[in-house]
Structure 1
Amino acid sequence: MDRPNPYYVPSKRRPKMTSEAELAAWMLAERTIEDPETGCLYWTGAAVNVGNVYGMVQGTNGVPDYCHRIIGRAYLGLQPDEVIDHVVSRGCSGLGLCINPEHLEPTTQAENIRRGQRWGKVAA
């Protein structure tokens, strides 16, 4: 089976976690590889291709969620009306598999689209 995540590494079943902060810490410590050129921390677990490839993990509530959104809520205070931007100007490759909190920023959907157009990521 062809997986959308080129960094995928099979792993043992993860331990049960009750808080999103605990899950986010585990994700960063156990399921990433670092790109030495960009500093990106690429998710090595399951992924989904929805125009860009994003890491997916089962959340603490049992529902699958995007990895960068879990990191955003746990480390950056992401609010329900915000999205997470992979900030290229901070060295991020812009790949959806990067979950380095230093490369992510909560923003509005409109601002995220504007930034994407600037970097040629989305159609104008």
Structure 2
Amino acid sequence: MYRKYVKRMFDFVFALFTLLLFLPVFVLIILLILIFDGFYPLFIQERVGKDAVSFRIYKFKTMNDKKDAEGRLLKEELRVTRFGRILRKSGLDEIPQLFNILKFEMSFIGPRPLPVY
């Protein structure tokens, strides 16, 4: 009963409250990513959740897509933007995951969903 109803209700109510509280920050971060980095502000990746169900996780994009002469992506530390470092250190890059919690794809408490690959 706890996992099915109480935990889900807690996740939903707390995620909704937190999202409303951080909405101005959310909009500001989107604008700053567009201004400073000039690319789509969200990073979307397939992850595997409970019962091996895959879903799309949302985060703020903190890296660019620069490639080397052979067309391969550069190392992560070369692609992280200055603003992206700030977002990662503060944890603000994970605010969009509140939408995953509202959709019951994730929970505040529990294991982190792993990438599909």
TM range (shorter): under 0.3
TM-score, normalised via structure 1 length: 0.27
Larger radius of gyration: 2
TM-score, normalised via structure 2 length: 0.28
Bigger fraction of residues in strand: 1
Higher-RCO chain (CA-CA 8 Å, sequence separation at least 6): 2
